[in-house]
Amino acid sequence: MALPRAAWIEARSTIQKLLSDDVTTLKGDPELRAKAIISQKNATMHLPAKIGDYTDFYSSIYHATNVGIMFRGKENALMPNWKWLPVGYHGRASSVIPSGTPVRRPRGQLKLEGATEPTYGASRLLDFELEMAFFVGGPATELGQPIPIENTEDHIFGMVLMNDWSARDIQAWEYVPLGPFLGKSFGTTISPWVVSMEALRPFMVANPEQDPAPLSYLAHSDPYTLDINLGVTIKPEGGEDHSVCKTSFKHLYWTLKQQLAHHTVNGCNVNPGDLMGSGTVSGPEEGAYGSMLELSWRGAKTIPVGDQTRKFLQDGDEVNLVGYCEKDGVRIGFGECRGKVLPAL
């Protein structure tokens, strides 16, 4: 990951050759094959890189509009800067965890409806956020040196699924004026398999039109996005997985290239292993909303989960994010991004 892009491509090509039918290096050597290939059921997955820094963007126009309508009304749904720059915030790298790690319901300050003062307690409005993220690759950049948008592909290594767990009640009270803090920093789950950008190239599609036209440092000649099918299931305690939403990564307004170009335009340096989240991926229809905040419309509706319903997550619920690309009979999966909610301490 820390090597130049040419090394990523060479490594992928070498692995493909070793696993191909007409190369006998592994196929014809059972002893070597036993050392090189481990059954997935016998493997314990870890974080795919040492994550030094983590940034989360807010790149879905549908998600941003929905949340804006809920809290500010239709006339002020999008903030004036939203279509001019990829909004983001600096997250907490220490609490990024691999799929399968339980997540403890957080405690914090809550300001209940009608109350004049906050109280301290466990979050009552625990939510998932359906996201994807990319790992920064290549040699570390120098402080003060932006990455021009035409060079960003040299620093976008590959992608994972990401669940940016969110405590909506803690977040609502704390976020003014500096943004998310304790409502986000208690846990972020990612899938352990990094799908390389080379593997995703066949699934590139045109990016949605951007109006107004981006400023020059955000303008690129090939404004593509990726057609990645995404979904979320919830498994109640003792139950089975039930689908609650399906959407696509292609609905995002801001591209990966624009996110990285904007992140570094002020001279901020990045390192291999840095994680960049997309923000909640929501589509135009209700069933394509990527959070319970939207699916329940801030708790005004119930969400069917098998023979049960939810407005927000309950203790014992297990959330799983899934993603895959499919075209011309070829399917590439991202694995699982799963986490179970444990009671607050």
Q: What is the mean pLDDT of each run of 10 residues along the chain (345 residues)?
A: 98 96 93 93 95 99 98 95 98 98 99 96 99 99 98 99 99 94 98 98 97 97 95 98 99 98 99 99 98 98 98 99 97 98 99
What does the pLDDT read at residue 180?
Answer: 94
The reply to whether 119 falls in a domain is yes
Residue 4: inside a domain: no
Distance set, CA 138 to CA 23, 91, 107, 226 (Å): 30, 22, 38, 21
pLDDT of residue 8: 98
Q: Catalytic annotation on 63? A: yes
Query: Which run of H or E residues covers position 137?
Result: none
DSSP string, 234-299: EE-TTS--EEEEEEEGGG-SS-HHHHHHHHHTT-----TT-EEE------SSGGG-SBHHHHTTTT
Q: What is the pLDDT of residue 298?
A: 96
**pLDDT at residue 17, rounded to an integer:** 96
| 87 part of a folded domain | yes
Annotated binding site: 56, 58, 72, 129, 131, 164, 171, 175, 184, 188, 280
Token pair in block for residue 148: 């021009």
pLDDT at 201: 97
Residue set of the binding site for substrate: 58, 72, 171, 175, 280
Burial state string for 252-268 with b = 16 or more CB within 10 A and e = fewer than 16: bbbbbbbbbbbbbbeeb
Q: Where are the beta strands (DSSP E) in 37-118?
A: 54-57, 88-90, 96-98, 103-104, 107-110
Q: What is the CATH number of the domain that holds 292?
A: 3.90.850.10
Q: Tell me whether residue 44 is in a domain.
A: no
What angle is formed at CA 273 by the lines to CA 270 and CA 276, rounded to 5 degrees?
70
Domain of 92? Answer: 49-342
The total of other beta-carbon atoms located within 10 Å of residue 298's CB is: 18
Residue 12 β-bridge partners: none
pLDDT at site 42: 92
Give the DSSP per-residue string, 184-242: TTT-EEE-SPPEEHHHHGGGEEEPPP-SSPPPGGG--S--EEE--EEEEEEE-TTS--E
Position 33 in a domain: no
Angle at 140 between CA 138 and CA 142, to 5 degrees: 135
Burial of 287 (0-12, 13-18, 19+ CB in 10 A): exposed
- 12 part of a folded domain: no
Cβ atoms within 10 Å of 195's Cβ, excluding its own: 23
Residue 338 dihedral angles phi and psi, to the nearest 5°: -115, 140
Q: In 60-215, which residue ranges form alpha helices assigned H by DSSP?
A: 61-72, 168-174, 197-200
> How many C-beta neighbours within 10 Å does residue 251 have?
20
Rg (CA), the chain: 21
Domains identified in the chain, total number:
1
Q: Report which residue type is found at 145.
A: Q
pLDDT of residue 160: 99
Active-site pick, 46, 63, 90, 220: 63
Cβ(269)–Cβ(140) below 8 Å: yes
